[in-house]
Amino acid sequence: MLVQGLPLKRGDDGPTVRDLHQRLAQAGVACDGDEFDDATERAVREFQESRRIEIDGIVGKDTWASLVEAAHRLGDRLVYHKSSPMLRGDDIAELQQRLGALGFDAGRVDGIFGPDTAAAVEKFQRNAGLPIDAIFGPDSLAALNRLGGREAQANVAVVREREHLLSGAPAQTCRLVLGELGGLGAVTDTLARHLRHGGFSVETVSHPDESFHATLSNELDADLYLGLVADDEARCRACHFATTGFESAGGRHLAELLVHTLTSGPFGEPSVVGQRVSVLRETRMPAVVLRVGPPQVLMGQAPVLAHAIKTAVGEWTLAPAGVLGD
């Protein structure tokens, strides 16, 4: 959704800020007035934390899109699959979670009504004796409410992802997309050379739009996506896809391996973080965004980082799902 005046930050005012306050209030974060003040920034940070997106107190396109999606409740609209743009919203995430809890694999709980969700709705409708059209409306909702699936039960998509990882490609054929969102082209090229020497098939992408990275990775049918972002703070975070009711096992395992290999490096105290940012949400393969900083440290430590990534990715290809039962 294109919104005039983004990004919004402290000191801004006007009708768009009023709209922001209304959307924050609908999402359960109380806020009002016409000015983006300290209270607004605190509310934005609280909302960003709850949505597992970058917490910066600034309303860019990702935060605004999350606010729009948060307003959708299951049953408020018909949801179905269309190619471009696909429908998104909290209602779709709830549908995916509830279908998955009943054993209908709608794919990862990403809040995007894609082909997997459409197929799951069709199977559910067939099972419930409803007309099979893959459109989730009032009759399908009534049937879903009768059958349950409200509790935070294990989602079949988690099991399917693990099964897929256990039958994945051997190390020598691992296809990796290495991406950077701007300003780290030289570092990315160094990393790509090291990984290719290690026997990996590597494609690089340099583009400011996270969705562009995800689309290219999906089109290439990659086994892994690894994004690199320079962080102004002296810390290292390995971010994988996670949201309420779903976590990427493959992404989390790679993030843990990266943190382990970087622990003794010059990048501060590394940590594993579950996020719902666009590139992690939209990629169909396990994906990690490595946020490392500060930039001047990153530029000087490219060989160290390359060795750590090469080691972690190599270990991941031997056991992409980690140890069973972890």
Q: Are residues 126 and 51 in the same domain?
A: no
Whether residue 85 is contained in a domain is answered as no
Whether residue 75 is contained in a domain is answered as no
Confidence band (pLDDT; 50, 70, 90) for 45? Answer: very high
Whether residue 83 is contained in a domain is answered as no
Confidence band (pLDDT; 50, 70, 90) for 326? Answer: very low
Give the domain CATH number at 36: 1.10.101.10
105 sits in the region (left: phi over 0; alpha: psi -120 to 50; else beta) called: beta
Q: What percent of the chain lies above the pLDDT cut of 90?
A: 60
Would the pLDDT of 92 be above 70?
Answer: yes
Last residue of a domain, one of 119, 136, 162: 162
**Span 34-41, average pLDDT:** 94
The confidence score (pLDDT) of residue 244 equals 83
- Identify the domain containing residue 265 by its residue range: 168-318
The confidence score (pLDDT) of residue 324 equals 41
The confidence score (pLDDT) of residue 83 equals 85
Q: Are residues 151 and 204 in the same domain?
A: no
Instruction: Give yes or no for a contact between 302 and 247, defined as CB atoms under 8 angstroms apart.
Output: no
Q: Are residues 179 and 231 in the same domain?
A: yes
Q: Are residues 172 and 306 in the same domain?
A: yes
Q: Are strands 175-180 and 246-247 parallel, antiparallel or unpaired?
A: unpaired
Question: What pTM was computed for the model?
Answer: 0.88
Last residue of a domain, one of 145, 162, 179: 162
Whether residue 246 is contained in a domain is answered as yes
Q: Are residues 303 and 185 in the same domain?
A: yes
Q: Are residues 173 and 296 in the same domain?
A: yes
Q: Are residues 247 and 303 in the same domain?
A: yes
Would the pLDDT of 102 be above 60?
Answer: yes
Whether residue 66 is contained in a domain is answered as yes
Q: Are residues 217 and 256 in the same domain?
A: yes
Whether residue 239 is contained in a domain is answered as yes
Q: Are residues 200 and 276 in the same domain?
A: yes
Whether residue 6 is contained in a domain is answered as no
What average pLDDT does the structure give for the chain? 88
CA atoms of 63 and 23, how far apart (whole Å)? 11
The confidence score (pLDDT) of residue 26 equals 92
DSSP string spanning 207-240? -S-HHHHHHHHHHTT-SEEEEEEE-SSS-EEEEE
The confidence score (pLDDT) of residue 168 equals 59
**Span 250-276, average pLDDT:** 88
**Span 131-145, average pLDDT:** 97
Whether residue 223 is contained in a domain is answered as yes
Would the pLDDT of 296 be above 60?
Answer: yes
Q: Are residues 106 and 64 in the same domain?
A: no
Q: Are residues 179 and 310 in the same domain?
A: yes
**Span 70-75, average pLDDT:** 96
Last residue of a domain, one of 129, 162, 195: 162
Query: Is 138 exposed, middle or buried (CB count within 10 Å of its CB: 0-12, 13-18, 19+)?
Result: exposed
Which tokens is 107 given?
């794919």
Q: Are residues 298 and 228 in the same domain?
A: yes
Would the pLDDT of 231 be above 90?
Answer: no
Confidence band (pLDDT; 50, 70, 90) for 325? Answer: very low
The confidence score (pLDDT) of residue 263 equals 80
**Span 312-320, average pLDDT:** 88
Would the pLDDT of 253 be above 60?
Answer: yes
The structural domain count of the chain equals 3
Q: What is the DSSP letter of 265?
A: S
The confidence score (pLDDT) of residue 210 equals 94
Confidence band (pLDDT; 50, 70, 90) for 172? Answer: low
The confidence score (pLDDT) of residue 183 equals 81
Would the pLDDT of 140 be above 90?
Answer: yes
Q: pLDDT (tens digit, 9 = 90+) per residue, 282-295?
A: 999 999 999 987 77
Would the pLDDT of 38 be above 90?
Answer: yes
The confidence score (pLDDT) of residue 323 equals 54
